[in-house]
């Protein structure tokens, strides 16, 4: 896709579906070349075909970001192909429903490994390249849950509090080099992860009528509806491409008023 401007080089993690796929497609529509990272090979391939249909290039990067060195290697794949990296969207995440008093080491370890450690290492690796370029933007996907007490979802919400902390620290570390680091806190979206989480939550709370349970949760949102994946992606892309260059260390709430404090 030719826009008359230099193509931005972006990496989106968790790009095989849901919000990650939609962010990748919107970035592609704006003329970005895309590194697409995920564990889901089939989903990655489909996203890659969709990006190609929009007339731009994509590099599918299959790997487990929780493994030592893989976040850095994933960033390097983008740098090696296109000579640098202008945008990093840390969207890949894992969450599991389990009561806090019955929580398991395995669930906490997996959640923290992907949502916190892998994200931090990707920020570090991309940040070093962006530091040398004296430009770049990093957007981390956080959650309203990071500021809530959710005893059946504690590992996930604690991990997103970690994302908030990393976002602020990385923003300050990279500010002298003109690199912006911000986050987006989506509300309830009908992604695969959201749906499976709510099914488990309904079962744990003894709510056999799933639709009634979902409707009850939706009524908690001041705007009275769930977020569309595309509109949350628009906010991510705005931070990637259009937000003022003086905006960094910020958390952009896209929760319909749910995260209102």
Q: Which of 97, 66, 170 is nearest to 128 (CA)?
A: 170
**192-204 and 210-218 are packed helices; what angle lies between their axes, rounded to 10 degrees?**
110
Buried b (16+ CB within 10 A) or exposed e, 102-112: ebeeebbebbb
Q: How confident is the model at residue 205 (pLDDT cuts 50, 70, 90)?
A: confident
94, 105, 153, 156: the active-site residue: 156
DSSP 146: G
CATH of 9-187+227-254, one of 1.10.3720.10, 3.40.50.720, 3.40.50.2300, 3.30.930.10: 3.40.50.720
pTM: 0.94
pLDDT at 3 exceeding the cut of 70: no
Buried b (16+ CB within 10 A) or exposed e, 203-235: eeeeeeeeeebbeeeeeebeeeebbebeebbeb
Percent of the chain with pLDDT over 90: 87
Q: Answer left, alpha or beta for residue 185, where phi above 0 means left and psi between -120 and 50 means alpha.
A: beta
The length of the chain is: 261
Q: How confident is the model at residue 259 (pLDDT cuts 50, 70, 90)?
A: confident
Q: Which of 91, 103, 98 is nearest to 140 (CA)?
A: 91
pLDDT at 1 exceeding the cut of 50: no
If you average pLDDT over residues 61-87, what whole number do you get?
A: 98
User: What does the alpha-carbon distance between residue 213 and residue 130 come to, in Å, rounded to a whole number?
Assistant: 45
Q: How confident is the model at residue 36 (pLDDT cuts 50, 70, 90)?
A: very high
Known catalytic residue at 94: no
pLDDT of residue 167: 98
pLDDT of residue 219: 92
User: What does the alpha-carbon distance between residue 185 and residue 201 come to, in Å, rounded to a whole number?
Assistant: 20
């Amino acid at each position: 896709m030719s826009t008359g401007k230099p193509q931005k080089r972006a990496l989106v993690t968790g790009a095989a579906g849901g919000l990650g796929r939609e962010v990748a497609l919107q970035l592609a529509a704006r003329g970005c070349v895309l590194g697409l990272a995920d564990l889901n090979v089939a989903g990655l391939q489909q996203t890659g075909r969709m990006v190609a249909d929009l007339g731009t290039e994509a590099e599918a990067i299959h790997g487990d970001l929780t493994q030592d060195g893989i976040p850095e290697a994933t960033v390097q794949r983008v740098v090696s192909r296109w000579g640098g990296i202008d945008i990093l969207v840390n969207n890949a995440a894992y969450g599991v429903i389990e009561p806090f008093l019955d929580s398991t080491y395995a669930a906490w370890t997996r959640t923290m490994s992907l949502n916190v450690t892998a994200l931090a290492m990707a920020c570090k690796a991309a940040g070093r390249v962006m530091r040398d370029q004296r430009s770049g933007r990093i957007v981390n996907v956080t959650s309203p849950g990071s500021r809530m007490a959710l005893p059946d979802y504690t590992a996930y919400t604690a991990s997103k509090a970690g994302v908030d902390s990393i976002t602020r620290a990385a923003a300050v570390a990279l500010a002298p080099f003109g690199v912006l680091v911000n986050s987006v806190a989506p509300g309830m979206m009908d992604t695969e992860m959201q749906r499976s989480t709510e099914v488990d939550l309904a079962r744990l709370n003894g709510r056999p009528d799933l639709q009634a349970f979902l409707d009850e949760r939706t009524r908690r949102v001041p705007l009275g509806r769930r977020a569309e994946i595309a509109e949350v992606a628009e906010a991510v892309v705005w931070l990637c491409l259009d937000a003022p260059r003086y905006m960094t260390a910020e958390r952009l709430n896209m929760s319909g008023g749910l995260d209102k404090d």
